[in-house]
Structure 1
């Protein structure tokens, strides 16, 4: 839908409906949440459902796009039913999503031609290594701000294209649409009318030039995905289209506030000034610092990202991407069976005074920032005869804080800006032991907003700004509630001693 058409349709929509809530869809690596958010910025209702994690081979990770879409539809229906609201009270639907996960689907059938390849997946490591050996990484870095790594979407698109050619022939490629999870959901929710993405998700594909703000033909040719139709790229606060899903709404509702989850959390954390930083603790962890309107070249394992696009103007961020944080705790719970819920994990870990020399390096899908060793493998080191499950749980928990410390140290060194405080969000940010240990490792204060679900809040803020639900960014700052704080308490020498043990553990898996 053209922008002026969308604006006219939305004006008509405004006249007809009582806009009480923003409905945010948070489609993460592990599942889908829907949240109703009111004008005070509070979450008044929430519903969550998990989707299957598919592991065809070691290091491979997939999701079923159809399951994800079914879950989104189900979650929207459930939150409306459980809250007892009318659909006429929904001002807009916003979308925040796991980034880099690649989906390719047939525009004629509306079906994916292969499972979504998840950001964690390492199946294209050889392709990326080959492109790097050919000397292509400087070009990729200069144009996209990203390292040449299987984490990002382009090599995943290529792998799926190769599968399509092998099984269906090259003639099918002309009918194929490609995108990240946001694009897939927008296309489905609009009944196939809109194939679009936002600046943040586009910038994570390794195909988007973050300086020209266009898909880059040289990169498309480099990765061999020229026959895929890529989505139109929009600002996060535009109207993308209107719902046309008969299972959900009798009338259409605007879709706006589309943004990758880590970028949404940065916006939701109100890190709107250069130098402000946040860490989102999820399956992996994104540590991100706002650097303003001028991108800096990516160095030493950090990447330069588009923080968000508003009204066609972008701001940038420096980011460290940690592959495995919350997922490490999930592994200890599900594969080792050492605890049943995360509150129990915190209690077990807190029963020890310290780690007693036990470290877990969670390189299950290689190591991301600041190390970038895609072929590293996980290890537990320092076990003694007296070690028990508490030591492994604590080591897994502490591994999150060590990785964040290493990433922030690199950011401080490259930006020249010391981080006095770190704003945090995500599931693990609710673990008090971890947050205190994080403050001690950083020797800096941790600030956790009293309101949770910052990715959803960030997308809701952007969508709300688009439709006039909130009038300005200044108004958003007035909504902020008193945060929870963690001041560092550990002596720096003790903190550094624990960290030295961690560095030796990391060296054992990369040497």
Structure 2
């Protein structure tokens, strides 16, 4: 019987489980959304019990739909989200603190004032920002009674979502993560490929809490017997793990230096493959491992935008001007332009290249002639404008201008957005047949580790283009729109 891989795709707002066959074709999928918790302004939490419940239910559902034995499991996950749990019981001591959460901003500001940013930047490729995991862990240790003392005694474990799931799936036998998730904690030296004791001391995170770090294509462990009875009850190897954005780069078959992808989900993330060179950004981009295979790391420049699809969700849930996200495609075409309306979606601060944690969302250019359609168009345009800024920063950093941008994620289904994006970055935009490239990337890693696929050359043949959007906007029109956007951003920034 052909090989089949189950991928657990644990995202910010939903959990999906997808079964792929050996041609990387989806044969089954189950998905469910889960609750978001906002205890205070700028705070975002998840209940780990919700995540574990949904992982089990969707995985079992997908396996039942597929009706075939599972060869291996791949995991891809929201990055930077931090969980601390009891090693003995596996129970979290606090809700997961989500990547969008900003409560670590005061700690980051103090560390910057103390002159720590240079060493953090040099070793991790990251900026001192509450987006990353270390300040979240420190907050939990400092605000849960007895947590810091227990962590020092080795009683508590820290992990990103992948690590928590590996621990649960293996019945508590394995505490591990992969290089891409480890690299998003502010505690991992991306050049040595190891946890850094000095960074652990800097953030006050005991080294004993941290998981083992492995390659992306690696057998991390096997599932507890009987956990998935729909797969003959056998233990299944967990053989591929990658943070969602690096998984998407891999799933888009961007294996060569200079290839780039952009994912449009809750946020927007552009990654440019820089090969075995870790390019130090001068424009506040991130230097990050893209993947590590057989001990060799391929790096990427990354630009992270905190709000993309979340802006459309706000139009639906916050303002009620739409009832379904797909309406924005039609609304954007109902009007010839945005009527001078610009949305800067800094609902949880601004990411790259600005990194302003205190900025908040704003809409400029409103007149009595502005309509819901103009707001919808401005929300979509903001996604393209932010991508434009990231690509420009990558080129300025010395990264090769990508000849093509491969896109994925839910918003990539919006034809109008794809065309406008190609116009603003003045580069062809390719959309694959299967937009679930994040899950495909995790499947590719799991398949490499278990012999389903032979190598990157074979994986490249499995990628297929559905449509290419060519740029067609005149240069002066692009410059006018760009100038209006940059003026709106300048008005929004709280930093100089």
RMSD of aligned residue pairs (Cα, Å): 1.3
Paired with 2:265 and 2:466, the residues of 1 have a C-alpha distance of: 20
Equivalences for 1:9-88 in 2 at 5 Å? 18-83=1-66, 85-86=67-68
Cα deviation 1:286-331 (Å, max 9, x = unaligned) = 1100101121223221010001011121111111111111111111
User: Which residue of 307, 310, 314 corresponds with 1:327?
Assistant: 310
Cα deviation 1:390-413 (Å, max 9, x = unaligned) = 111111111100000011101011
Counterpart in 1 of 2:224? 244
User: Which residue of 137, 140, 146 corresponds with 1:160?
Assistant: 140
User: Which residue of 336, 339, 350 corresponds with 1:356?
Assistant: 339
Counterpart in 1 of 2:106? 126
Counterpart in 1 of 2:179? 199
How far 1:389 sits from its partner (Å)? 1.0
Identify which range, 116-125 or 240-249, moves more after superposition. 240-249
In the alignment, is the contact (CA less than 8 A) between 1:141 and 1:298 conserved in 2? Answer: no
SS in 2 for 1:364: coil
How far 1:449 sits from its partner (Å)? 0.9
Paired with 1:392 and 1:188, the residues of 2 have a C-alpha distance of: 43
Q: Which runs of 5+ in 1 are unaligned?
A: 1-17
Cα deviation 1:97-153 (Å, max 9, x = unaligned) = 111111100112211111111111101101101001100000000000001100110
SS in 2 for 1:177: strand
Paired with 2:151 and 2:214, the residues of 1 have a C-alpha distance of: 27
In the alignment, is the contact (CA less than 8 A) between 2:19 and 2:29 conserved in 1? Answer: yes
Paired with 1:135 and 1:28, the residues of 2 have a C-alpha distance of: 34
In the alignment, is the contact (CA less than 8 A) between 1:370 and 1:406 conserved in 2? Answer: yes
How far 1:81 sits from its partner (Å)? 2.3
Q: TM-score scaled by structure 1? A: 0.94
Counterpart in 2 of 1:466? 449
**Distance change >3 Å, CA 311–CA 53, structure 1 → 2:** same
Paired with 1:121 and 1:492, the residues of 2 have a C-alpha distance of: 38
SS in 1 for 2:218: coil
User: Which residue of 165, 169, 178 corresponds with 2:158?
Assistant: 178
Counterpart in 2 of 1:259? 242
Cα deviation 1:192-225 (Å, max 9, x = unaligned) = 0000000000000000001111100000000001
**Distance change >3 Å, CA 107–CA 489, structure 1 → 2:** same
Counterpart in 2 of 1:105? 85
Paired with 2:140 and 2:147, the residues of 1 have a C-alpha distance of: 12
1:296 aligns with 2:283: no
1:137 aligns with 2:117: yes
In the alignment, is the contact (CA less than 8 A) between 2:141 and 2:148 conserved in 1? Answer: no
In the alignment, is the contact (CA less than 8 A) between 2:240 and 2:443 conserved in 1? Answer: yes
SS in 2 for 1:123: coil
Counterpart in 2 of 1:407? 390
In the alignment, is the contact (CA less than 8 A) between 1:19 and 1:90 conserved in 2? Answer: no
TM superposition outliers: structure 1 runs of 4+ over 4 Å: none
In the alignment, is the contact (CA less than 8 A) between 2:134 and 2:203 conserved in 1? Answer: yes
How far 1:20 sits from its partner (Å)? 2.8
Identify which range, 367-376 or 296-305, moves more after superposition. 296-305
User: Which residue of 263, 267, 283 corresponds with 2:266?
Assistant: 283
Kindly tell me the number of residue pairs found equivalent between the two proteins.
490
How far 1:168 sits from its partner (Å)? 5.5
Paired with 1:82 and 1:445, the residues of 2 have a C-alpha distance of: 37
Counterpart in 2 of 1:337? 320
How far 1:419 sits from its partner (Å)? 2.4
Cα deviation 1:66-114 (Å, max 9, x = unaligned) = 110110000011112233x13xx21101001111111100112211111
Counterpart in 1 of 2:371? 388
1:148 aligns with 2:150: no
Cα deviation 1:225-266 (Å, max 9, x = unaligned) = 116510000001010000006442322000011001100111
In the alignment, is the contact (CA less than 8 A) between 2:432 and 2:464 conserved in 1? Answer: yes
Paired with 1:306 and 1:283, the residues of 2 have a C-alpha distance of: 22
